[in-house]
Structure 1
Amino acid sequence: MRWDNLYLAGLGAYLPEAVETAEQAIEAGRYTLDEHLANGIRGVHVARLEDESPVQMASAAARQAFERSGHTTEEIGLVVHGHNSHQGQEFWTPASYVQNNSVGGNGATAEIRQGSNSGLAAFELAASWVAARTDTAALVSAGDSFHLPYFDRWNTDDQQVFGDGAGALILSSRTGFAKVVASASFSDSTLEPIYRGGAWTTGPFAEGKTVSLRARKRAYLQTGENLYEETVERMTKSLFAVVGQVFDDAGTDISKIKYLIHANTGQTIVDWGFYHPLGVDVSQTVYDWGRDYGHMGAADHLVNLNHLVETRPLSPGDKVLTIGVGTGFMWTAFIIEILETPSWNTAS
């Protein structure tokens, strides 16, 4: 989808101060040296249980994005909150909490849960809302945290180390420092069983066992011959489909991309999932910075985009490609064009 009169007006992030390094996790017996060397993730930031729940972090990120945007409460017509993890309470509406504790007002609220692609899926849905209501703006937030005994950030999944954090953005039909040029989404729900697991449960943490995405994935791959190769092929095909679509809609190609934003996953995943197939160099990303934060679930792309805009040299016309993929499986890609360097950029 090519967008007209759609802008990024503000970005924000919240990252806990507490840090747990890979070396500390190895020493505690929660991680292995081999996995650390393969993944390249150096550490994660860990949220406090008492006052850094995902929605509290998301609200702080949202307040920063809102303050930077120049919009008023009355202009925020929609709040969309994406997440992957437990948000701090059961049978509850996290998006309403974020609205009440950041932008306020009476805009509509919605919650998106599409794995690690939740932030970008929320972004695209909000884009459609703002494009259809040209006198409004929207807040998109995403926040996650991962704690034992429910979730082991170091061991729950292969080639992933999960960190805590939140990000937010304000979409505007009026003005902004960057133009949202195009977006695309693509799904392949035949891959949904990969992370589903076996028997159904009656509720979260019903059996009192730590989630093991590794075990679910391995069980799935054992159900058919050559299933691993077929799964990788389908995922690669979907990546090219969504990237090809967003390039076609934007009327550009990879050679015109200045920066790439992706999730903070293991080194092998980013090498073979992004850099090699797309012909992008790591210097065009914020991946080295992200190796000290790990995979923040739904928040990676918003947090990383905020870090890029805060710290990297920007010029009018610079194009940013961001690509996300979430379990289920769903891929989303955006192309954003810088119009001006915002006042909160520290590179100039």
Structure 2
Amino acid sequence: MKFDDVWIQGTGRYAGDLRPVPGHVTAHTGIVSVAWSELSGPELAVRAGRQALDAAGPGAVGPHLHGSMAYPGLDTWSASCWVADRLLAAAPAMSMQFSALCNTSMAGIETAASLLAGRPDFPRVLLTVGDRFPASAIDRFEVDPEIALGDAGAAAVLGRGHGRARVLSCVSRTDPSLEGLQRGDEPFRDRPAEEPAVVRKRTRQFFAAGTRTPASVVRAHVEGVREVVETALAEAGTSVAEARWVVPPFVGANAFEHGYERPLGLDREGTLFASGLRLGHLGGSDHLFALDQLLRDGTPEPGDRIVLIGVGGGFTFTCAVLEAA
């Protein structure tokens, strides 16, 4: 969908301290460290949210959307309202939580932009994301052979009329036939598992069933990425070659090369690939974290195009095209 008057008005990010990863992870992926925090996902989101609100300046907020991939710290509890209570002086129109797993930041951008496009009574939307991956809940090095998980929060304020970057277009698609990659043979449970999740084990179970092969999944991944990128770029009237930055998820070298760099013809220097090797894959925060890094530290020139590409388990694919102001 094309957007005419939706702007990124402020962004923020907060990551844990960097810790080295096991040698075999570095040898295979090129990832040398991951962000590691003792703060919960909601606490990380609050740190980032304060930065985003300060950057956006004073003004009312309509809805607040809070996203995460990991367990937020309590069952049957509104993490979004906890975050909103610590960030907003006035109660938002709605505070809700959502997840598109690793695609959460991108799903949030699309949802927030659509709310602003369809609801003129909403002045701005606050978007927060935060994930922590403690060893008691998940093995951050056994989720996927090509990633290692890092702890971080990220946030953005979207509004109308002005901002740091204008949202030109955003496109998503879903291939639900791939949801079993994160499910495998695991049964549905009445409560969270007592043992840490080893998601790579579920992926092996999925392939053992024989309905899909690793090669077919790679093809489906590349097809999904290409489809949303090509459509979003066409709607924005631009191309990969004209973009100043093209930012896929923070993944290891193999996944980056075969899932994004080669299929899209990317220039590695304009992708924040190196940041991902230091921070790890930040769960649902990757793209809002990257966007804040670009807008605060990358000094984009007016008119520079920024292309964000998200992929999440399920599988969902999203591409957003922005123009720096």
- TM-score, structure 1 as length reference: 0.89
Q: 2:2 is matched with which residue? A: 2
Cα distance, 1:226 vs structure 2: 5.8
Cα distance, 1:37 vs structure 2: 1.5
Q: 2:250 is matched with which residue? A: 264
Aligned with 1:297 (options 272, 276, 283):
283
Are residue 181 (structure 1) and residue 168 (structure 2) matched?
A: yes
- Residues 182-227 of structure 1 show CA distances to partners (whole Å, capped at 9, x for unaligned) of 000010111111111322111112xx22211111001111212662
Unpaired runs of 5+ residues, structure 1, are 27-32, 340-348
Are residue 202 (structure 1) and residue 190 (structure 2) matched?
A: yes
Unpaired runs of 5+ residues, structure 2, are none
- What is the identity, as a one-letter code, of the residue corresponding to 1:36? T
**Structure 1 CA distance, aligned partners of 2:175 and 2:89?**
36
Q: 2:31 is matched with which residue? A: 41
> Which runs of structure 2 are paired with 1:283-294 in the superposition (5 Å)?
283-294=269-280
- In angstroms, what is the RMSD of aligned CA positions? 1.4
- What is the identity, as a one-letter code, of the residue corresponding to 2:183? R
Q: How many residues align?
A: 322
Cα distance, 1:63 vs structure 2: 0.9
The 3-state SS of whatever aligns with 2:249 is coil
Are residue 77 (structure 1) and residue 69 (structure 2) matched?
A: no
| 1:237 to 1:156, Cα distance in 2 relative to 1, 3 A | closer
The 3-state SS of whatever aligns with 1:166 is strand
The 3-state SS of whatever aligns with 1:116 is helix
**Structure 1 CA distance, aligned partners of 2:241 and 2:129?**
30
Cα distance, 1:234 vs structure 2: 1.4
- TM-score, structure 2 as length reference: 0.95
| 1:235 to 1:3, Cα distance in 2 relative to 1, 3 A | same
Are residue 241 (structure 1) and residue 231 (structure 2) matched?
A: no
Q: 2:150 is matched with which residue? A: 163
**Structure 1 CA distance, aligned partners of 2:292 and 2:211?**
43
Q: 2:141 is matched with which residue? A: 154
- What is the identity, as a one-letter code, of the residue corresponding to 2:244? K
| 1:88 to 1:226, Cα distance in 2 relative to 1, 3 A | closer
> Which runs of structure 2 are paired with 1:5-44 in the superposition (5 Å)?
5-16=5-16, 18-22=17-21, 26=22, 33-44=23-34
Are residue 86 (structure 1) and residue 71 (structure 2) matched?
A: yes
- What is the identity, as a one-letter code, of the residue corresponding to 1:39? T
**Structure 1 CA distance, aligned partners of 2:275 and 2:201?**
30
- Residues 257-313 of structure 1 show CA distances to partners (whole Å, capped at 9, x for unaligned) of 110122211111111111111111110022212311101100011111111111113
- What is the identity, as a one-letter code, of the residue corresponding to 2:18? V
- What is the identity, as a one-letter code, of the residue corresponding to 2:2? R
Cα distance, 1:251 vs structure 2: 1.4
The 3-state SS of whatever aligns with 1:211 is coil
* Residues 63 and 103, structure 1, Cα contact 8 Å, conserved in 2: no
Aligned with 1:172 (options 139, 159, 183):
159
Cα distance, 1:120 vs structure 2: 0.9
| 1:4 to 1:71, Cα distance in 2 relative to 1, 3 A | farther
**Structure 1 CA distance, aligned partners of 2:143 and 2:195?**
11
**Structure 2 CA distance, aligned partners of 1:80 and 1:45?**
24
List structure 1 runs of 4+ shifted beyond 4 angstroms. Answer: none
